[in-house]
A and B are shown apart, each in its own frame.
Chain A
Amino acid sequence: MCAALTLVVGGELSTPVRGRAASAFAQKRRAGRRTPAHKPASKSAQPLPEKPVVREINEAGLKALLDANTASGHRLLVNFWATWCEPCRDEFPDLVRVTNEFKDDKEFQFITISLDDVSEAGAGVPKFLQTMRATHAPAYLLNATDQDAAIALVDSQWHGELPATFLFGRKGDLFFKHTGRIKPIELRKAIDASEWWCYDDKK
Chain B
Amino acid sequence: MKKLYTCTLLLLALFGGAFVSPASKAGGSGEEKAFGTNVGATVNDFKLPDAEGKERTLASLKGQKGTVLIFISTRCPVSNAYNERMEKLARDYSARGMSVVGINANVTETAQDIKQHAAEKGLTFTILRDGGNKIADRLGAQVTPEAFLLNPDGKLVYRGRIDNSRSGDSITSSDLREAIDLTLAGQPVVKTEARAFGCSIKRAS
Is B119 part of the binding interface, using a Cβ–Cβ cutoff of 8 Å?
Answer: no
Closest to A191 in B: B18
Would you call B77 and A157 a contact (CB within 8 A)? no
Is A115 part of the binding interface, using a Cβ–Cβ cutoff of 8 Å?
Answer: yes
B162 CB to closest chain A CB, in angstroms?
12
Chain A residues, CB < 8 A from B77: 84
Q: CA separation between A196 and B16, bound complex, in Å?
A: 15
Segment of A32-40, A92-100, A143-151 in the binding face: A143-151
Query: B3: which of A1, A82, A180, A190 is its contact (CB, 8 Å)?
Result: A1
Is A160 part of the binding interface, using a Cβ–Cβ cutoff of 8 Å?
Answer: yes
Chain B residues, CB < 8 A from A163: 200
B49 CB to closest chain A CB, in angstroms?
25
Do A189 and B143 form a contact, CB below 8 Å, given A5-B11, A147-B195, A197-B10? no
Would you call B199 and A161 a contact (CB within 8 A)? yes
Is A179 part of the binding interface, using a Cβ–Cβ cutoff of 8 Å?
Answer: yes
Would you call A161 and B160 a contact (CB within 8 A)? no
Query: B142: which of A6, A160, A193, A198 is its contact (CB, 8 Å)?
Result: A160
Would you call B173 and A146 a contact (CB within 8 A)? yes
Query: B199: which of A6, A85, A117, A145 is its contact (CB, 8 Å)?
Result: A85
Chain B residues, CB < 8 A from A162: 143, 197-200
B interface residues, tally (CB under 8 Å)? 41
Contacts of A29-86 to chain B: CB distance below 8 A: 80, 82, 84-86
Q: CA separation between A162 and B160, bound complex, in Å?
A: 15
Is B21 part of the binding interface, using a Cβ–Cβ cutoff of 8 Å?
Answer: yes
Is B4 part of the binding interface, using a Cβ–Cβ cutoff of 8 Å?
Answer: yes
Would you call B6 and A148 a contact (CB within 8 A)? no
Of A21, A163, A198, chain B has the most CB atoms within 10 Å of the CB of A198
Query: A161: which of B19, B20, B201 is its contact (CB, 8 Å)?
Result: B201
Chain A residues, CB < 8 A from B110: none
- Partner-A contacts on B (CB < 8 A): 2-4, 6-7, 9-11, 13-14, 16, 18-24, 75, 77-78, 140, 142-143, 146, 160-161, 164, 166-167, 172-173, 193-201
18 pairs, CB–CB < 8 Å, chain A vs chain B: A2-B4, A2-B7, A6-B7, A9-B14, A13-B19, A21-B2, A86-B75, A117-B167, A148-B194, A151-B197, A158-B195, A159-B142, A160-B198, A161-B201, A162-B143, A162-B198, A186-B20, A189-B18
3 nearest A-B residue pairs (beta carbon): A161-B200, A189-B18, A159-B142
